[in-house]
Amino acid sequence: MPNARLLVPAVIGLWCAASGARVAALEDPAARAQVTHLDNGLVVVTLEDTATPVVSFQMWVKVGSRDEAGYSGLAHLFEHMMFNGSEHLGPEQHAQLVTARGGMINAYTSNDQTVYFDDVTRESLPLVIDLEYERLAYLDISEESLNRERQVVLEERSLRIEDTPMGRAYEALLALLWQALPYRTPVIGWRSDVEKATVEVCREFFATYYAPNNIVVAIAGDFDTADALARLERTIGRLPAAEVIPRNPTEEPEQRGERRATVHFDLRGPVLAAAWHAPATGHADGEALDVLSQILSDGRSSRLYRSLVHDAEIALSASGGYWEMNDTGAFLAIAGVRPGESIDRVEQLFFAEIERVRREPVHAAELDKAKRQLEVSLVNGLATSHALAARIGGDIATFGRIRPLGERLERIRAVTADDVRRVARTYLVTDQRSVVHVVPPPHEATPREAGDGA
């Protein structure tokens, strides 16, 4: 039998101490979330809110590119296969049934998770639950559907990576930053792996990772919790649990010295991308790194915008930010160089700003501004059912608990200028840096002009 318990204490009136009188007391809606563990290991986190016309159903499967060995891109390929029909429904029929009711259905794959979501109106939640059960229980993994879908994925790969300067930059950068961790492979996979993945490999991957004890279901918005739980129990709740869910054992060895790579691409605006190693999600330095990201990048008064875009006028965009994942993290820097300007000069000014945050403490006003920006974005994140479901589902999948808003705000507010300088000194080290330049090919070596006809 399922056991339900409340995990999160209520946090009320966070902004009551503010100066203005016209301020609604802020209640963390997630404080009302209920977590239920079904017998087969499926975790269900629910948050009812009848003031909204929407209910968001999200299925967080704890598998991403970090779990891939052999064939890269399998987790993402699977995200596609999940729309390709099952025993009782044809290809795309699942999505069509949800869309026909005005629902928004889609999915995405990250390094750590594959997330399926259906945002619908109240009366369609039973449909969504039955459809998710159908594809978990009876997915069609045939040669035919795999072959069609791998073509679609290859088109997506061309679209997002191969034909875009930014896609090329990130792909090269991550493969440079991590030499051992599977985070080094692109989530969408290397082209050759997607071309060669077999039905057997896909079936094994599905059987291994799409078990109920590797899934968190999050539901937020206008629905009835008891009805939804009862329906989940007699559908997904009946699927057998997996005995073992294997995880990749690899750890990243220490980086000893800066790494550099150049990617040639026929473009007008070169791209500078750089990264440093940073801690995994949940680390005590996370908030200081977030504050640092804001100071460097958020808004037109941020340091990088002022220096590179406004004052020097040599970049069209420049930002740096902390990216957290389950097993590690990165601090990324990215700049779009203005056509005709020097990428070396952009790099020099960019890294000068990094040196400055390592050398001098940030100003009190900058610190306050960064904290305020983070607080406002937390409040904005409470506005939709989709965002709420993503928060409670993501927290349960990653941390096994919902981090209360109050806790997150307290940790942001506790960050000092010394903390910001300390994390900059700890992580943004030249020796630990990886740098990629995406630039036009040297004229004489252009392969297309060499007449290979490719």
Partner 1 sequence: MRRACVWALVAFCLVLAQGCGLLAPKPAWEIPAPPASDRPIARDGALTRVELESGLRVLVHEDHRLPRIALSLTVRRGAASEPPEQAGAVSFMAELLERGAGDRDALAYAEAIDALGASFAASADWDAVSVGISGLSRDFDALLGLLADAALRPRFDPREAVRARDALLAALERAKDDPATLAGWRAARAVYAPHRFGLPVSGTAETAARLDAKVARAYHARAFVPNGAILSVSGDVEPEAVIAALRDRFGAWRKGALVDPGAPPPAQAPAQRVVVVVDRPDLGQARIVVGHEGIARTDEDRIAVSLFNLVLGGSGFSSRLMASLRGKEGLTYGVSSGYSLRRAPGPFFVSTFTRVEELRPALDILLAELERARREPPGEDELSWARTLATGSFSMGLETSDAVTDALVDLDVYGLPEDSLDTYRTRVRAITADEIAAVARAHLHPERAAIVLVGPAAAIVPQLEGLGPVEVVKP
When the beta carbons of 89 and 280 are compared against partner 1, the nearer one is: 89
79 is catalytic: yes
Q: How far is the CB of 129 from partner 1 (least distance, A)?
A: 8
When the beta carbons of 25 and 244 are compared against partner 1, the nearer one is: 25
Q: Which amino acid is at 234?
A: R
Instruction: Identify the DSSP state of 67.
Output: G
Q: How far is the CB of 347 from partner 1 (least distance, A)?
A: 18
Q: Which two tokens stand for residue 318?
A: 């420049």
Q: How far is the CB of 258 from partner 1 (least distance, A)?
A: 27
The active-site residue out of 68, 79, 287, 324 is: 79
When the beta carbons of 131 and 274 are compared against partner 1, the nearer one is: 131
Q: How far is the CB of 121 from partner 1 (least distance, A)?
A: 6
When the beta carbons of 83 and 178 are compared against partner 1, the nearer one is: 83
When the beta carbons of 139 and 153 are compared against partner 1, the nearer one is: 153
Contacts of 81 (CB under 8 A, 6+ apart): 139, 141, 145, 146, 149, 202, 206
Q: How many angstroms separate the CA atoms of 365 and 373, rounded?
A: 12
20-47 burial, b at 16+ Cβ within 10 Å, e below that, comes to eeeeeebebbbbebbbbebebbbbbbbb
Question: Tokens 């200081």 correspond to what residue?
Answer: 288
Q: How far is the CB of 315 from partner 1 (least distance, A)?
A: 9
First to last CA, the chain: 61
Alpha helices in 301-416 (DSSP H): 303-304, 343-359, 364-380, 385-399, 405-413
Contact 263, 437 (CB under 8 A): yes
Contact 83, 148 (CB under 8 A): no
**Residues catalogued as catalytic:** 79
